[in-house]
């Protein structure tokens, strides 16, 4: 499954992410690909709103992991400085109960070999050059949750 949408503002990205957040369940892993300022944290803000956690998200740049508790817990992680299994272990990645919560992972490129098949990949890129607000956002999943994730963006895809 692979779906691409275009957003033209942070608000539109939050709205698309909110729709996805509505269908997110414990055990889901959302792995972002996309550079600095692409909109990964902005997307996660919408995701948390859709999960019923409120407008609570701030960047995990310094904390590496922010945990938001609600009906389902959201672990928002930053892998920018992670390389290899040792640093992944020392940031506590393997200590989180990712079966009872959902994870949203920025800079997931750095831990690609540790991501399971069920992972939902969200790729965000500037669609119209660096200074534009246009973003191309692609969701891609080859695991079990694919249809559920895709259903969130039904209204965008005609
Ligand atoms: N369509 C858009 N979607 C998401 N963010 C956008 C968009 N247009 C402009 N922006 C801006 O781009 C920046 C994205 O920052 P952020 O979400 O922190 O990115 P990242 O976490 O990928 O580094 C924000 O300042 C946001 O307002
Ligand atoms: Mg960020």
What tens-digit pLDDT sequence spans the chain (158 residues)? 999 999 999 999 999 999 999 999 999 999 999 999 999 999 999 999 999 999 999 999 999 999 999 999 999 999 999 999 999 999 999 999 999 999 999 999 999 999 999 999 999 999 998 889 999 999 999 999 999 999 999 999 87
* List of E strands, 40-157: 65-68, 73-78, 101-106, 120-126, 135-140
Residue 42: per-residue pLDDT: 98
Residue 141: C-alpha distances to residues 15, 50, 61, 114, 138 (Å): 20, 19, 26, 15, 10
CATH number of residue 61's parent domain: 3.40.50.300
Residue 129: per-residue pLDDT: 85
* Ligand 1 pocket test, candidate residues 31, 35, 42, most atoms within 8 A of CB: 42
Token pair, residue 95, equals 């200590």
Ligand 1 atom nearest to 7, measured from its CA: 1
The rounded Å distance from CA 10 to ligand 1 centre is 6
Residue at 156 is within a domain: no
Provide the domain limits for residue 100.
2-151
Does residue 9 line the site of ligand 1, with CB under 6 A?
yes
Distance of CA 145 to the CA centre of its chain: 14
Ligand that lies nearest to the alpha carbon of residue 125, given by its number in the listed order: 1
Please tell me the total count of domains within the chain.
1
Ligand that lies nearest to the alpha carbon of residue 128, given by its number in the listed order: 1
* Ligand 1 pocket test, candidate residues 12, 36, 39, 45, most atoms within 8 A of CB: 39
The separation between the first and the last C-alpha atoms of the chain, rounded to the nearest angstrom, is 15
Residue at 16 is within a domain: yes
Distance of CA 132 to the CA centre of its chain: 22
Write phi, then psi, for 142 (nearest 5 degrees). -115, 10
Residue 70 is given by DSSP the state S
Residue at 157 is within a domain: no
* Residue carrying structure tokens 């609600």: 70
């Amino acid at each position: 499954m692979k779906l691409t949408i275009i957003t033209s503002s942070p608000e539109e990205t939050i709205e698309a992410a909110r729709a996805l957040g509505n269908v997110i369940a414990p055990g889901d892993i959302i792995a972002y690909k996309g550079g600095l300022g692409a909109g990964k944290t902005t997307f996660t803000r919408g995701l948390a709103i859709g999960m019923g956690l409120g407008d609570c998200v701030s960047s995990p740049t310094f904390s590496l992991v922010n945990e938001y508790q609600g009906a389902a817990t959201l672990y928002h992680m930053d892998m920018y400085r992670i390389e290899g299994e040792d640093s992944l272990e020392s940031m506590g990645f393997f200590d989180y109960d990712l079966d009872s919560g959902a994870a949203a992972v920025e800079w997931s490129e750095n831990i690609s070999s540790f991501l399971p098949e069920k992972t939902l990949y969200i790729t965000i890129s500037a669609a119209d050059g660096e200074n534009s607000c246009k973003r191309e956002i692609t969701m891609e999943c080859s695991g079990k949750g694919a249809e559920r994730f895709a259903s969130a963006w039904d209204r965008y895809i005609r």
